[in-house]
Amino acid sequence: MTANTPSLCRTRIKICGLTRPQDVEAAVDIGADAIGLVFYAPSPRSVTIAQAATLARYVPAWVSLVGLFVNTPQEEILRVADQVGLSHIQLHGDEQPHHYAGLGRPIVKAIRLPASAGPPSDPSVPAAAIVQTHLLEFEAWRVLAQAVLFDADSIGFGGSGHVFDWGLLSGMSRSLGRHWVLSGGLRLENIAQALADLSPPAIDVSSGVEQVINGRVQKGVKDPVRMRAFVQAVREFDLVRPT
């Protein structure tokens, strides 16, 4: 392939934490491959089953509908998935693989790596030990999960908006081929660098495309202008990315 030939590789984009029908419609219109709904009550982006069922009606065929759960029993996940019509399950807690072998849907398992900014989840544990723990977690899930998602660790579960040290993926991402997702603090200002450094097959964005009012992110409320600019930046990179 010459430098001027468009790449046939396309980065898959999931926009997560949507709570409003107009945001789902906007995400679909700009070409998102997947819509993420959060079923974790402590999260400001959480939706109820009834809200999720309404949002699901705005998701057309061939766009994936992903449910995000944190330490939720398999039976409850199945109940929610059946009622809402989820196509994929994303597990974001401390789940163990042997408890989630019967979901009957593709699983994406989040692996939380030390953030490059912000407070660590446990300051008493050395970073090297944390990385080793996550590597073991990664190995345990790679057989059962359709993909693993690398996110920045935080106090609680997700939603920190922080970026982790991308160097921690050295060698790991290559062994996964196209079965991994990059997440954690992605936004318009850093997405081109993330794509150039890691060439992820899929990315997951949430806070990076939300409304900002007086310097404060409005969690769960997406900004159509920021969503469009973010997706456009990814698609422009796809035109020149190496195969």
Give me the mean pLDDT over the 192-219 stretch: 93
pLDDT surpasses 60 at 181: yes
How many C-beta neighbours within 10 Å does residue 119 have? 12
Query: Which range, of 87-91, 139-143, 204-208, 215-219, averages the lowest pLDDT?
Result: 139-143
Catalytic residue among 16, 23, 204, 223: 16
Cα(234)–Cα(223) distance, rounded to whole angstroms?
17
pLDDT at 168: 80
Rg for the chain, CA atoms, rounded: 17
Annotate 202-223 with DSSP letters as a single string: EEEESGGGEEEETTEEEEEEE-
pLDDT at 126: 54
Question: CA nearest 41: which of 20, 15, 72?
Answer: 72
Query: Which range, of 34-48, 134-148, 182-196, averages the lowest pLDDT?
Result: 134-148
Cα(21)–Cα(18) distance, rounded to whole angstroms?
8
- The rounded mean pLDDT for the chain is 87
In tens, the pLDDT along 56-87 reads 999 999 999 999 999 999 999 999 999 999 99
- Fold type of domain 12-238: TIM Barrel (3.20.20)
In the chain, what percentage of residues exceed pLDDT 70?
A: 84
Q: Where are the domains of the chain?
A: 12-238
Residue of higher predicted confidence among 160 and 118: 160
Note whether 88 and 106 are within 8 A (CB): yes
Most confident of 1-5, 154-158, 196-200: 196-200
Which contiguous run of DSSP H or E holds residue 43?
Answer: none
Confidence of residue 190 (pLDDT cuts 50, 70, 90): very high
165 catalytic residue (yes or no): no
Catalytic residue among 29, 33, 94, 151: 151
Q: How many helices and strands in the chain, by DSSP H and E? A: 7, 10
pLDDT surpasses 50 at 6: no
151 catalytic residue (yes or no): yes
Residue 18 class from Cβ within 10 Å (0-12 exposed, 13-18 middle, 19+ buried)?
Answer: buried
